Amino acid sequence: MPQLSDATRGRVLLGGDYNPEQWPEETWYDDVRLMKDAGVNSVTVGVFSWARLEPRPGVHDFGWLDRLLDLVHGHGIGVVLATPTAAPPPWLGRLHPDTLPVDEDGRTEWWGGRQHFSHSSATYRRHAAAITEALAARYGGHPALTMWHINNEYCTYDHGDEAAARFRGWLRDRYGTLDALNTAWGTAFWSQGYGDWEEILPSRRAHYLKNPTQVLDFRRFTSDMLLECYTAERDIVRRHTPHIPVTTNFMPLWFGQDAWRWAGEEDVVSVDLYPDPRDPYGAQEGALVQDLTRSQARGPWMLMEQATGAVGWRDVDQPKPRGLNRLWSLQAVARGADAVCYFQWRRSRQGAEKFHSAMLGHAGEHGRVFQEVKRLGADLATLGPRVSGTRIEADVAVLHDWHSWWAGTQEARPFAHADLPVVLRAWHRALWEAHLTTDFAHPTHDLSRYRLVAVPQLYLLTDAAVDNLLAYVHGGGTLVCGFLTGIADEDDRVRPGGMDARLRGLFGIRTLHEWWPLPAGGTVPCDGFRGTLWSEELEADGTADETVPYRGGELDGLPAVLGKGRAWYLSTLPEPEALRTLLTRIAEGAGVRPVLDGLPDGVEAVRRGDALFLLNHGRDEVTVDVPGTHRDLLTGEVADGSVVLGRYGVAVLSS
Ligand code: GAL
């Protein structure tokens, strides 16, 4: 199978979405000159070019793309060629209204924006396949081509009639019989029993609470339909160019796709990442998405899009202050990226994203942003040969599963404040701040290479996942689980006793009497810290080695935290510092060490291959003690025992 290294060829790619059709051809010459100046070696072309490539049904205009590919190739720049199927041309919707998606209220989403396609529409799929075929046939042999980029950020829903028909087919494959479906969905509740497949609908507007398993299955179905669209196009380009890697870009921690499953269908896993520069936890948000993407890729990955500054869709939309773009870009490289790319190369003057920043801003080549991109280009050219293709070893895995997220995020639940992303971020932040390098994994993955497995929240656990967790602990691993884990089975049916019995036994819980969710901003006192979001009325079975009790209030004296051998359970979310302290202690007990001891606040350390990345997320100069003598790969300077990092400074030390 082709892979990212076939495109990087020992470099770290720098580039971005390039939309030359928005500009007169004279501008293209300026573009390639400035790309060379900045060290750009990759451009992603054609993402939204369908109307330009096929202005009328079956009539193609490839001349401009021929010239463009030849031009960039002549300047030594590779092309990630996109299929344009995320933005069908207006003629498709007008001639074939069945290609348009329908929302849960039955309203059509019209052309005039983007992503106005129904994943279930046979007509859409046929036209998408045809333009993909034409592109692959024409450009499969072009020497500029380094990678295929299918569609863009698959994220649509469809509740229309064609989707309904496909949903029924999907359900037949899953359940076989209506009886099995009725059992899985618990349709005895509220007179929902189905007597004919034709009665089953997508999850459309209902008067009151919808059947949660129907909603869960509709989410599964939607992810699968989008995946079918992706694999159909992927298979076309693969047939023409089996040696060229294929990707599609994920959105970060995006609800709508089972990204584990999707990643298995990609040669290159890529992601778009837009932390808010004003967010004090922006760097951690980046680290989380980078760790997740690297884990999905099982190695180097591609940062397909990021912004040099403002994005145009935030209420207060500030640019990145000087140095932050470089810092966050090198953070991605530290965490395994072999490509650092942007939306987009040249800032548009028209269209919905004309206020979105770009590598080349409205201020032009003398603008601060472009000058900073040039500096980044120089850094990546220096680092590329040393880090490209190298890997990151983590002793800790955080478990995440989309099906559990989908099942847990429903109406009529007592835990609206305890949403999975909130809890997941809190746990990852604690590990990140403790400098414990962290992978992500699916609950059924082989976990045996990790010393510590952390489960912030897995509301739904299949039997196979429970088996896997138990086998992991019995095999010598250390497991720490948060509340709302192991509550439901595959069909979102609550497990007997309210929580999986084997997990209860593992943690030393006899009975989970009641959940006591906290109001927004509320806390609960525990011995030595305060819990947030959630608390539980637990009865221990007396087998735990360590118990941290609640203190005061209704739960006084009951266990908040239980530790039994190598298995730990947290029935609340300790405040950030307490969570960090607790997870660090558990990690230490499992033999996990931080990347470096004694790091100053705000400094992140990551080892990638034989390079040690030190990243200062603060604006003040800091001195980092690093035992031994090292060379900074970026500056060539020798660091003897310590290294000084300025505002947003980065050092990459070789050992
Ligand atoms: C991404 C998308 C790009 C661009 C970017 C900036 O979601 O893939 O095409 O829209 O956001 O907003």
DSSP states of 498-509 as a string?
GS-HHHHHHHTE
Q: What confidence tens digit (pLDDT) does each residue in 261-270 have?
A: 999 999 999 9
- Of ligand 1's listed atoms, the one at least distance from the Cα of 251 is 7
Q: What is the mean pLDDT of residues 508-524?
A: 96
Q: What is the dihedral of CA 624, 630, 634, 636, to 10 degrees?
A: 130
Q: Is the pLDDT of residue 129 over 90?
A: yes
**Adjacency order of strands within the sheet including 145-149:** 246-247, 145-149, 78-82, 42-45, 13-18, 337-342, 301-305, 270-272, 249-250
Residue 652, CB-side half-sphere exposure with 13 Å CA sphere: 22
Per the structure, the complete domain to which residue 643 belongs is given by 603-654
Contact partners, residue 154, CB within 8 Å, separation at least 6: 86, 119, 226, 227, 229, 230, 248, 256, 257
Q: Looking at the structure, do residues 34 and 115 belong to the same domain, yes or no? A: no
Indicate the pLDDT class of residue 134, thresholds 50, 70 and 90: very high
Indicate the pLDDT class of residue 112, thresholds 50, 70 and 90: very high
Indicate the pLDDT class of residue 416, thresholds 50, 70 and 90: confident
Residue 540 lies in a domain: yes
CA–centroid distance, 296 to ligand 1, in Å, is: 21
Residue 598 lies in a domain: no
Q: Looking at the structure, do residues 327 and 337 belong to the same domain, yes or no? A: yes
CA-to-CA distance for 340 and 306, rounded, in angstroms? 8
Pairing type for strands 270-272 and 301-305 reads: parallel
Q: What confidence tens digit (pLDDT) does each residue in 7-27 have?
A: 999 999 999 999 999 999 999
Residue minimizing CA distance to atom 4 of ligand 1: 343
* In contact, 101 and 118? CB cutoff 8 Å: yes
- Binding site annotation covers 114? yes
pLDDT in the model for residue 314? 96
pLDDT in the model for residue 85? 98
Q: Looking at the structure, do residues 138 and 250 belong to the same domain, yes or no? A: yes
Q: Looking at the structure, do residues 122 and 235 belong to the same domain, yes or no? A: yes
Q: Is the pLDDT of residue 413 over 90?
A: no
- Binding site annotation covers 325? no
Residue 273 lies in a domain: no
CA–centroid distance, 164 to ligand 1, in Å, is: 29
- The ligand 1 site (C-beta within 6 Å) comprises 152-153, 272, 305, 311, 343, 353, 356
Q: Is the pLDDT of residue 655 over 80?
A: no
Pocket residue to mutate for ligand 1, from 150, 305, 308, 355, most atoms within 8 A of Cβ: 305
In the chain, what percentage of residues exceed pLDDT 90? 98
CA–centroid distance, 207 to ligand 1, in Å, is: 35
Residue minimizing CA distance to atom 11 of ligand 1: 343
Residue minimizing CA distance to atom 12 of ligand 1: 311
Q: Looking at the structure, do residues 74 and 218 belong to the same domain, yes or no? A: yes
Element containing residue 625 per DSSP (H, E) = strand 622-632
Q: Looking at the structure, do residues 32 and 76 belong to the same domain, yes or no? A: no
Residue 74 lies in a domain: yes
> What CATH number corresponds to the domain at position 532?
3.40.50.880
CA–centroid distance, 343 to ligand 1, in Å, is: 6
Domain boundary among 391, 419, 437: 391
CA–centroid distance, 396 to ligand 1, in Å, is: 32
Indicate the pLDDT class of residue 641, thresholds 50, 70 and 90: very high
Contact partners, residue 649, CB within 8 Å, separation at least 6: 323, 327, 615, 616, 621
- Per DSSP, the chain holds a count of helices (H) and strands (E) of 18, 26
CA-to-CA distance for 380 and 167, rounded, in angstroms? 46
* In contact, 351 and 343? CB cutoff 8 Å: no
> What CATH number corresponds to the domain at position 646?
2.60.40.1180
Residue 530 lies in a domain: yes
Mean pLDDT of the chain: 97
CA–centroid distance, 434 to ligand 1, in Å, is: 32
Give the total number of structural domains in the chain: 4
Residue 615 lies in a domain: yes
Q: What confidence tens digit (pLDDT) does each residue in 135-154 have?
A: 999 999 999 999 999 999 99
* In contact, 639 and 614? CB cutoff 8 Å: no
Domain boundary among 562, 589, 616: 589
Q: Is the pLDDT of residue 415 over 80?
A: no
Q: What confidence tens digit (pLDDT) does each residue in 186-227 have?
A: 999 999 999 999 999 999 999 999 999 999 999 999 999 999
Q: Looking at the structure, do residues 96 and 110 belong to the same domain, yes or no? A: yes
pLDDT in the model for residue 1? 92
Q: Looking at the structure, do residues 152 and 58 belong to the same domain, yes or no? A: yes
Q: What confidence tens digit (pLDDT) does each residue in 554-583 have?
A: 999 999 999 999 999 999 999 999 999 999
CA-to-CA distance for 57 and 123, rounded, in angstroms? 12
* In contact, 490 and 515? CB cutoff 8 Å: no
Residue 17 lies in a domain: no
Q: Looking at the structure, do residues 486 and 454 belong to the same domain, yes or no? A: yes
Pocket residue to mutate for ligand 1, from 44, 272, 355, most atoms within 8 A of Cβ: 272
Q: Looking at the structure, do residues 141 and 80 belong to the same domain, yes or no? A: yes
Residue 223, CB-side half-sphere exposure with 13 Å CA sphere: 19
Pairing type for strands 478-482 and 509-515 reads: unpaired
CA-to-CA distance for 576 and 532, rounded, in angstroms? 9
Residue 202 lies in a domain: yes
Active site members:
153, 305
Q: What is the mean pLDDT of residues 173-178?
A: 98
The separation between CA 493 and the C-alpha centre of its own chain, rounded to angstroms, equals 28
- Of ligand 1's listed atoms, the one at least distance from the Cα of 47 is 9
Q: Is the pLDDT of residue 131 over 80?
A: yes
Q: Looking at the structure, do residues 404 and 384 belong to the same domain, yes or no? A: no
- 3-state DSSP call for residue 645? strand
Pairing type for strands 396-399 and 452-455 reads: parallel
> What CATH number corresponds to the domain at position 68?
3.20.20.80
- Of ligand 1's listed atoms, the one at least distance from the Cα of 152 is 8
Q: What confidence tens digit (pLDDT) does each residue in 382-403 have?
A: 999 999 999 999 999 999 999 9
pLDDT in the model for residue 185? 98
pLDDT in the model for residue 417? 80
Q: Looking at the structure, do residues 159 and 181 belong to the same domain, yes or no? A: yes
Residue minimizing CA distance to atom 3 of ligand 1: 343
Pocket residue to mutate for ligand 1, from 85, 153, 354, most atoms within 8 A of Cβ: 153
CA–centroid distance, 53 to ligand 1, in Å, is: 20
Domain boundary among 589, 618, 640: 589
pLDDT in the model for residue 414? 82
* In contact, 479 and 453? CB cutoff 8 Å: yes
- Please give the full DSSP string across 19-67, using - where no structure is assigned: -GGGS-HHHHHHHHHHHHHHT--EEEE-TT-HHHH-SBTTB---HHHHH
